Each structure stands twice: as structure tokens, then as C-alpha cells.
Amino acid sequence: MSSVSGKRIVLGVSGGISAYKAIEVCRRLVDAGAHVVPIMTDSAQKFVGANTFSALASEPVHASLFDDWQGPIPHTRLGQEADLIVVCPATARVIGSYAAGISDDLLTNTLIATRAPVVVCPAMHTEMWEHPAVEANMATLAARGVHIVAPEEGRLAGGDIGKGRLAAPSTVVASVQEVLDPHTVDMRGLSVMVTAGGTRESLDPVRFIGNRSTGKQGYAFAEVAARAGADVELITTVDRPDPSGVRVTRVVTAAQMHEACLASADSVDIVVMAAAVADFRPTGASEVKIKKGDGVPTIELERTVDILADLGSRKRRGQQLVGFAAETNDLIANGERKLAKKNADFIVANDVSAPNTGFAHDTNAVTILAPGGVRASLALASKFEIARAVLRTVVAARTPSE
Ligand code: CTP
């Protein structure tokens, strides 16, 4: 049975040329057994007729805050009763109002009056999609756990070509199904080791060489894997609250992380190396504070062990290694090189120079690489969603005997 069957889904349609595709989304959701409640904005009704949605959905269109056919205060009822709200298409205005908490019509009121999961499907011209205000609003929504169905590249209104075209109705419906399915990753019976944070390599008792990693993505992996039923060990350099149900080992340096990884690596099914491990450390840290009076010091560096490559060289049958590639250029080529060199099964490549991705952000956008090429490209989403999608890909690639 489909995960949408019997669910009450509010379909919010805002004003864009792609509103006609929402008709197909509506039909598919109804066919899959959902009770579809349509809300249209005024401008949506300039693109498609309310009668079309009223005829295809499970009840007539709701369009007004003040004279709804079902009585007063429609937004609280619609928001409270929904199992999920999908906004398709979502215009820059609706996205902006929702991100700012401004309730200026029935749709935005309903969005703010709900605790149900929300799926937003943006559609707009490329210039608008790439505007910093829209990018910031999308990042806000993603960080709050709103699910985003990224727009595609293609023909836009007026004949322009570019990014911003509403995702295909089948993609929108698949996203809705995924959000409503609580068992999208089942990791029961699997053991997972996750590393998180950036290592610190001492120069002297008060100084170290470090990096900008905050551990957010690694912690999201540990939390999602534990929630999915896996036995999880987290090896971390950062002092965030322990995710529930996860064994936590704290380390500081690359050498300590290596040692902790070796202690568990043989017994685990999946390794996720999300940590930013130092590639170099000072040769022989000073035991006393380096004093400036002694002149400008020359710091000699030596290589650390590449933990992922070491685990790759001793990987046992059936074990899956997931590495990361933090890149600022040539994302795919560099990721593929790391995949082969480190004998990993997956490389999660992210462009750390892109807006709202990588270090310290609550959101990320990644490309999952596996031998044979790109496995998936995940648009900007919360780090939890990224973790869930990566783990789903990893678990799906396991053969039944593993
Ligand atoms: N990694 C590791 N041990 C190291 C360095 C990196 O295990 N000493 C792991 C990271 O945890 C990550 C992957 O290797 O999963 C790639 O890390 P990245 O820093 O992007 O790559 P590098 O191997 O350092 O390569 P480069 O310097 O060419 O970017």
C-alpha cells in the first residue's frame, strides 16, 4: 500500500505558469489513495481554474481566509488536520512569506498553522531562483526541516532556458511518499561507525592546527542511523550533545581518531568518514609554549595517516566505506579520484565554496559517487535529510548476503 493512502494532503498551489503541473500532482495523489485538499492563491487562479482542482481533488478548492465554503477560520483547521502540506509550485513570494513567518493569504496562514511536514516545490525564473534573498529563504526553510523538491533545468516561461523549472509531477509525488514513509531507511541489524568534526594537531600546549568542521553532518549521520535501528558508534572531536542511543568516543588528533577507528573497523558493516581529518601535523609539538621573543618559528609538518585509505586497504567483504570529498573545484573529478585511491564504496562530494553548503551550515548539497559514476545529486537540504538519503543509497547497494 502506498504511504500516501488514507493521508490528508493539503496541496497548496501558488501563481506560476507551472501551476498546470499541479493538476497532474493532484490526480496522482488522489489515485494513490490520498485525500487531497486544494488551496489556491489568487494568482494561481489566474493560471488555472479553481474548478479543475475542485473536480479532481477530494474536496472543493479553498481560496479565502474569510469566506471559505466550510466556514470560518479555515487556516487553523486545514493546518491542524493535514498529514502533510505540499506547495506546488511555490513562488518566490510564498517561499519568502513562509520563511519570514508572514501570513498574508490562506496558503501562508495554513503553512504557519501546521505542525505537519511540509514539502516545497519551487518554480521560478533562473534570476529569481539565484537571487540571494531566495537562496537565503530556501536555506532557512531547509534548516527548519522543510523538504525541498529542487527545481530542474529546462524551458521556462517566455521560452528562456535555465534552472527553475518545477520538478516533474512524478518527482513531486515520490518526494511526498518518501516524507510520509517512516521506514525509508531500515538499518536494523547493521552496525555503523561514524566519524565527525575536525581534528586538532598541537603546535604547543596552547595552539593547534585545525579546520572549520563543526561536526554537524557527522552527528546527523549518527542520529539518523540510530533512529533507523542501527548499532552506532560515533568517533568525534567536537563537544556537541550525544545523539540518543549512540556510543560516543571522543578524540582530538588524527592519530587518536585512527586508533579509535581501527579498534572498531573490523566489526562494523558501514563506515561513514564524515570527519575533516588533518592531512599534516607539526613534527614534534613543543612541550612548552612557543614564545614570540624567540623569533618567528619555522613549523615543520609531517603527513598523518589517511584513515579512510587505511580502512579501504583492510576492508572486509561486505563492509561499505563512505568517504567525503570537500572540494572547491572539479567536484566530480576529484571525488572520483578519491573513490578509487581510497578504495571507498561511496564518496559524498560537496562544494564547500557554494552558498549554504559545507562547514558550519545546517544545510548541505552533495553528489554521491560510486564506482561507475554519479549515483545521486542531492539539492540543498538539511544535513539530516542528506544523511538519510546517503544512508538509503548505501543500504540499497548492500547485497542480500551482506
Ligand atoms: N580522510 C581521512 N584521513 C585523512 C584525510 C582525510 O580519513 N588523513 C578522509 C576524510 O574523512 C574524508 C575523505 O578522506 O572522508 C576525503 O577527505 P578530503 O580532505 O576531502 O581529501 P584528502 O584526502 O585530504 O585529499 P585532498 O588533499 O587532495 O583534497
Check residue 122 and report its DSSP letter.
E
C-alpha distances (whole Å) from 22 to each of 10, 14, 30, 36, 335 are: 12, 10, 12, 12, 37
Alpha-carbon dihedral sign for residues 381, 387, 390, 396: negative
How confident is the model at residue 245, as a pLDDT?
Answer: 82
How confident is the model at residue 19, as a pLDDT?
Answer: 96
Q: Which residue matches cell numbers 549515483?
A: 375
How confident is the model at residue 67, as a pLDDT?
Answer: 81
Residue nearest to atom 18 of ligand 1 (CA): 325
> What does residue 396 show for φ and ψ, rounded to 5 degrees?
-65, -25
DSSP 38-56: EEE-TTHHHHS-HHHHHHH
Distance 207 CA to ligand 1 centre (A): 22
How confident is the model at residue 180, as a pLDDT?
Answer: 84
d(CA 118, CA 128) in angstroms, rounded, equals 22
d(CA 43, CA 230) in angstroms, rounded, equals 47
pLDDT band at 183 (very low <50, low <70, confident <90, very high): low
How confident is the model at residue 400, as a pLDDT?
Answer: 63
Parallel/antiparallel/unpaired status of strands 346-351 and 207-209: unpaired
> What does residue 130 show for φ and ψ, rounded to 5 degrees?
-95, 0
Which residues does the annotation mark as catalytic?
A: 211
Mutate to test the pocket of ligand 1, among 279, 327, 336 (most ligand atoms within 8 A of CB): 279
Say if residue 182's pLDDT is above 70: no
Q: Which residue matches cell numbers 498529514?
A: 83
CA neighbor of 69 nearest in space, from 89, 40, 45, 94:
40
For ligand 1, is residue 275 a contact (CB within 6 Å)?
yes
> What does residue 140 show for φ and ψ, rounded to 5 degrees?
-60, -50
- Mean pLDDT rounded to a whole number for the chain: 91
Say if residue 57's pLDDT is above 80: yes
Q: Which residue matches cell numbers 509550485?
A: 89
C-alpha distances (whole Å) from 370 to each of 39, 335, 376, 380 are: 41, 9, 9, 20
Can the peptide bond before residue 89 be classed as cis, meaning omega within 30 degrees of 0? yes
Mean local confidence (pLDDT), 362-377: 86
Model confidence pLDDT, tens digit, residues 61-107? 999 999 888 888 888 899 999 999 999 999 999 999 999 999 999 99
> What does residue 279 show for φ and ψ, rounded to 5 degrees?
-85, -20
Q: Where are the beta strands (DSSP E) in 344-386?
A: 346-351, 363-370, 373-382
Nine-digit cell at 293?
A: 621573543
Counting from 1 in the atom list of ligand 1, the atom nearest the Cα of 195 is: 11
pLDDT band at 401 (very low <50, low <70, confident <90, very high): low
For ligand 1, is residue 326 a contact (CB within 6 Å)?
yes
Say if residue 402's pLDDT is above 60: no
Mean local confidence (pLDDT), 26-33: 96
Nine-digit cell at 13?
A: 498551489
C-alpha distances (whole Å) from 307 to each of 195, 250, 266, 271, 285 are: 10, 16, 14, 11, 21
For ligand 1, is residue 306 a contact (CB within 6 Å)?
yes
Strands of the sheet containing 346-351, edge to edge, are 246-250, 231-236, 191-196, 270-273, 320-327, 346-351, 363-370, 373-382
For ligand 1, is residue 19 a contact (CB within 6 Å)?
no
Residue nearest to atom 9 of ligand 1 (CA): 308
Say if residue 314's pLDDT is above 70: yes
Angle between helices 132-143 and 92-100 (to 10 degrees): 50
> What does residue 123 show for φ and ψ, rounded to 5 degrees?
-150, 125
Helix (H) or strand (E) holding 295: none
